[in-house]
Amino acid sequence: MKNLLGCSIEDLEKIALSYGELSFRGKQIHNYIYNPKIRSNNIDDLQNLPSNFRNKLKSEGFIIGGLKLEKKSLSNDGTLKLLLRTLDGEFIESVGIPTNKRLTVCVSSQVGCPMDCKFCATGKDGLKRSLKAGEIIEQILLIQKEMSMKVTNIVFMGMGEPLLNLNEVLIAIKCINKDLNISQRKMTVSTVAIPNKISQLSKLSFERLGKCQFTLAISLHAPNQKIRESIIPSARNYNIKQIISDCRNYVSQTGRRISFEYILLNGINDQEEHADQLSNLIRGFQSHVNLISYNDIEEMPFQKSSFSNAHKFKSRLLQNGINVSFRKSRGLEKNAACGQLRRI
């Protein structure tokens, strides 16, 4: 199957020309598949195209999208989680997070996740496969349709490790920017950190996108190597000091601030001494710490930090000159919050 979603105007013009059609047919397809007012997943609905062209596209295996909505879960705070089935029978989840001024979509980049972070439900079944760019784009369009609200922000924080699907993620970012008209500055790519991939991300972004303006978020969750290895098994392959060094280089190359994600786990990484260690680790370059409350997962042994410990941790970071904020959890009762996605 060849998905038309994820294709640019130029890509679609080339397809039209390859079938003996004029290039403007590509523009017609582009308007059809990205315009929320008229789009559908059926090539037969492209009535502006000659019927023989539509038939050729279908016979050659072209599709538009392919994800099927299996289940919707609406939280009390308005957060919407979609369970989506792929053409090969796998399942992914996407989340729409609305406020008065914006709609953020949390997209998945893989079916499952290979990282097996101990506090996260997503990786418990391992990795099934990576998603194609069209499957990433369709998540955004489906959330937009279901919520009847224009998407303004994108976070690659759903299922999967984006930097292990870097080529398709970059295609998706380009499409989101150029075809959905969402600025790179409104996008965030979150990674647990993979050796050599941070430098590759900036290099390929400049080569393929012409710029690198999205936010890079590092799921750090620990102030030192020992604690990080205890909760993130892959940390054994990537020393925390090397991660910070690579982040410094990334900031130098892109001019973009790094965001460090930090889940506060009771008695594990939430003491004031840990805040001091974290401060010493990341000070000296453009960065920001997002503190996150642990979202309960039934079969896991962790507990969220007390209000007192969380407040002291944040206060110590501020005293140490670190930019810090708390991220509010959304969609908790529907298992739509950070770390809870698990294809149910």
Run means of pLDDT, 10 residues per run, the chain, 344 residues: 93 96 96 87 91 95 95 94 97 96 97 92 88 97 95 97 98 97 98 97 97 97 97 96 98 97 96 98 96 82 92 98 87 52 54
Q: What is the structure's pLDDT at 125?
A: 80
Sign of CA dihedral 297, 299, 302, 303: positive
Exposure pattern of 307-320 as b/e (b: 16+ CB <10 Å)? eebbebbbebbeee
Q: What is the structure's pLDDT at 284?
A: 94
- Domain topology for 68-334: TIM Barrel (3.20.20)
Q: Where do the domains of the chain lie? A: 2-63, 68-334
| 93 labelled catalytic | yes
Q: Which of 106, 113, 247, 338 is catalytic?
A: 338
Could you give the residue ranges of the DSSP H alpha helices within the chain? 9-18, 24-34, 51-59, 133-147, 166-178, 197-209, 225-231, 240-254, 272-282, 307-319
Residue 259 to residue 264: CA distance in whole angstroms: 16
- CATH number (1.10.10.920, 1.10.150.530, 3.40.50.2000, 1.10.10.10) of 2-63 reads 1.10.150.530
Q: What is the structure's pLDDT at 140?
A: 97
Q: What is the structure's pLDDT at 341?
A: 56
Q: CB of 84 within 8 A of CB of 76?
A: no
> What phi, psi does 48 have (nearest 5°)?
-75, -15
* Cα–Cα distance list, 318 to 160, 177, 234 (Å): 32, 34, 30
pTM of the model: 0.93
Fill in the DSSP letter of residue 303: -
> What phi, psi does 187 have (nearest 5°)?
-120, 150
- Which residues neighbour 162 within 8 Å (Cβ) at sequence distance 6 or greater? 109, 156, 169, 189, 190, 191
Q: What is the structure's pLDDT at 338?
A: 58
Residue 53 to residue 271: CA distance in whole angstroms: 64
| 247 labelled catalytic | no
Exposure pattern of 186-222 as b/e (b: 16+ CB <10 Å)? bbbbbbbbbeebbeebbebbeeebeebbbbbbbbbbb
Q: Which of 13, 21, 93, 138 is catalytic?
A: 93
| Total length of the chain | 344
